[in-house]
Amino acid sequence: MTAAITRLRRRANPSVVVGGLLVLAVVLAALVSFVWTPYPPTLVTPEDRLAGFSADHLLGGDRLGRDVFSQLLVGARTTLLVGILSVGLAALVGVPLGLLAAMSRRQPWLDGLVMRASDLLLAFPALLLAIMLAAVYGGSVVTAMVAIGIATVPAFARVVRSGALVVLESDYVLAARAAGRRPFAIALRHVLPNVMNLVIVQASVSFAIAILAEAALSYLGLGAPPDTPSWGRMLQEHQSYLDQAPRLVVIPGLAIALAVLGFNLLGDGLRDLLDPRLAKHVAGSDSGANDERDAERNPRRVEPGGHKPVE
C-alpha cells in the first residue's frame, strides 16, 4: 500500500502538474496566435490609445492604440521561438562536447581543453554576447537566439560530462569495452541514452533562463525589432506609462514571470521523477514519515535503561 501511494505521488508530482499547466498555457497562446488574434498585433488605432478593459479589447489598448491581448499572444510565439532555437543550439553543441570530454580518458588534455573553453564561455553572459553581436550584425531575434544559445552551451557540456563519467563506470560499459566496442559506439549506444534524462531536465531549466534573457535583450532593444511583438519590448515601450496605465507593464511582466515559473517547476519535477537517486530518497522519506505516524498512533512504553518495549 505504501509503495502504491509513493508511486502515485511520483506520478502526480505537484511541480510537474503546475509547471506543465503553465507551460501548456504559453504553448497554446503561441499556437493560437498562428491562426487567430482579435486584431493584427501591429494595427494602430489612435482612438483606442490607452483604452481600458472592454469587450472589444480584452486587455485594453497600448500607447499607440494596438490591442494588448493580440500582442501578448504573438509575444508568446516570439518567446517560444527564441527559447526553442537557443536551447536547441546549446544542446546541439554542448551534448557532444560533454560526451567528448568524458570519453577522452586517454587524452586528458582534451578534457581539460573542453572544460577550460566552457569556463571561458561562462565569463561571457548572454547579455554581453548579445551586445557584441548586435554591434556587428545589429539587434534582432537571430542575434538574441545565437547569444543565448552560446551562453547556455557550458551548462549542457558540464551536465552531460558529469553524467557520462558515472555511466562509464557501470558494468555494462566495462563489458562493452572488454568486447572490443569502439568508444564512439559506446558513447552512442550506452552513454548517451543514459544521460538523456539529465539533458531533458537541463533543457527545461535553460528554457526558463532563455525566456528571461530574451525579455532582457528585447527590453534593451537588442532582441525583437519594433514590428515584432515581444514581452520584453512591451515592457520597454510602456515603462514610462506606469503611472497612467500600470496594466501595460504588469501584464507582460506577469506573463514572463509565469512562463519562467512554469519551466522552472517543470524542470524540478522532471528531475525528481527521472533521477533514481532522488526517487529513492523521496521513497525513504515517505517510509520514515509513515513509521513516525504509526509510532504516534501506537505508543509503547519503554523501561528506563532498556531497549525492549513493555506491553
Q: What is the pLDDT along the chain (311 residues), one digit of tens a residue?
A: 455 445 545 566 889 999 999 999 999 999 999 999 999 999 999 999 999 999 989 999 999 999 999 999 999 999 999 999 999 999 999 999 999 999 887 788 888 999 999 988 888 877 788 888 887 888 888 988 999 999 999 999 999 999 999 998 889 888 988 888 888 889 988 999 999 999 999 999 999 999 999 998 888 888 888 888 999 999 999 999 989 999 999 999 999 999 999 999 999 998 888 765 555 544 444 444 444 444 445 544 444 444 444 44
Tracing cell 522532471 back to the chain, one arrives at: 270
Q: Number of folded domains in the chain?
A: 1
For residue 228, give its domain range: 18-283
The three cell numbers locating residue 31: 499556437
289 domain-assigned: no
User: φ and ψ at 67, to 5 degrees?
Assistant: -75, 120
296 domain-assigned: no
82 domain-assigned: yes
Find the length of the chain: 311
Segment (H or E) for 120: helix 108-122
* DSSP 8-class letter at 226: T
Segment (H or E) for 302: strand 301-302
CA distances from 180 to 101, 107, 159, 189, 212 (A): 21, 19, 27, 14, 47
* DSSP 8-class letter at 170: S
Q: How far is residue 161's CA from residue 4's CA, in Å, rounded to a whole number?
A: 35
Q: At what angle do helices 68-103 and 192-219 cross, to 10 degrees?
A: 140
158 domain-assigned: yes
The three cell numbers locating residue 72: 501578448
Q: What is the pTM of this model?
A: 0.82
CB neighbour class for 4 (10 Å; exposed up to 12, middle 13-18, buried from 19): exposed
42 domain-assigned: yes
CA distances from 284 to 109, 281, 290 (A): 41, 5, 10
b (16+ CB within 10 A) / e for 253-282? bebbeebbebbbbbbbbbbbbeeeeeeeeb
The CATH number assigned to the domain holding 153 equals 1.10.3720.10
223 domain-assigned: yes
288 domain-assigned: no
306 domain-assigned: no
